[in-house]
Amino acid sequence: MNNEYMELEHHLEKLEKISIGTYWDIRLLFNESNNIILKDGNIEEISSGMNTGVVVRVLYKNGWGYANSTNVEIEEIKNLLNRALKIAKLSNENSKKTVILKDIEACKDHVKSNGKINPKDIGVEEKKEYIAMVHNCIMENNPQNNNGKIASSSVGYSDVVGNSLFISSEGALIKNEITKVLMNMTVVAKDNSGNLQYASERLGGDGFEVLEKNTLYEKAENTK
């Protein structure tokens, strides 16, 4: 859990008490991502990044207003709400529709990830071993000097770990834990006549356990 998310958790009470005299909701997203690409047996890229974002929505009579930012500080969120309110008022002036919000009980929930193994608990070297294993399986009995059967191969790994929040003026508060893992493999084969054929497979899920070795072998075999 990153510092921005922890800070907003601390300020949730302030967010829930925001009042602009009409309906509003806020969506906040925080995630960390990692990517590894193995191209023709060589590591081509290892990268990581962090993303934060906020989207606010405001309803004024029959008009909606939206605003977004990558700055998730409390004061910025308040500014976004005021900006969205101005847009909603302009939208209402030109709206030909009637907007009626249903009277439903505000939802409060904490949705946990279904993943069993958090990819953050797996080191880069172990992730590279999985990628190399898939590459070796693809190339097994298919060396590049075997009539040039495989012209190129690529194995990519990526994961995302993060959290999202949804808060509304009606009292809704939904926290969502996010973990996603994906591995994709692509092979380009070339026959003796110079014709190219492409094959690809992908495997993904909510936790690192989705990269079960037997399944990876099967996917790698399918790309040959």
| pLDDT tens digits for range 58-108 | 999 999 999 999 998 888 999 999 999 999 999 999 988 898 888 888 899
Domains recognised in the chain with CATH numbers: 3-222 (3.30.2290.10)
Q: Say if pTM beats, i.e. exceeds, 0.75.
A: yes
CA 6-11-15 angle, to 5 degrees, is: 130
pLDDT top residue among 2 and 12? 12
- For 14-51, how does the pLDDT look when each residue is reduced to its tens digit (9 = 90+)? 777 778 889 999 999 999 999 999 999 999 999 999 99
Q: What local confidence, expressed as pLDDT, does residue 197 receive?
A: 85
User: What is the pLDDT confidence band of residue 2, given thresholds at 50, 70 and 90?
Assistant: low
Rounded to 10°, the helix 124-139/213-222 angle is 40
Provide the pLDDT for residue 7. Answer: 58
Cβ neighbours, 10 Å, residue 102: 4
Residues 222, 211: Cα–Cα separation, whole Å:
16
Cβ proximity of 10 and 45 under 8 Å: no
pLDDT score at 182: 96
pLDDT at 142: 61
Q: Residue 39's CB: how many other CB atoms inside 10 A? A: 15
Token look-up 């072998």 returns 217
Q: What is the distance between the alpha carbons of residues 171 and 35, in angstroms, rounded to a whole number?
A: 37
Over residues 124-131, the mean pLDDT reads 94
- pLDDT score, position 64: 96
Bigger pLDDT: 183 or 145? 183
Mean pLDDT rounded to a whole number for the chain? 87
pLDDT, tens digit (0-9, with 9 covering 90-100), for 10-19: 666 677 777 8
158-215 tens-digit pLDDT: 999 999 999 999 989 999 999 999 999 999 888 777 788 888 999 999 999 999 877 8
Structure confidence at residue 145 (pLDDT):
42
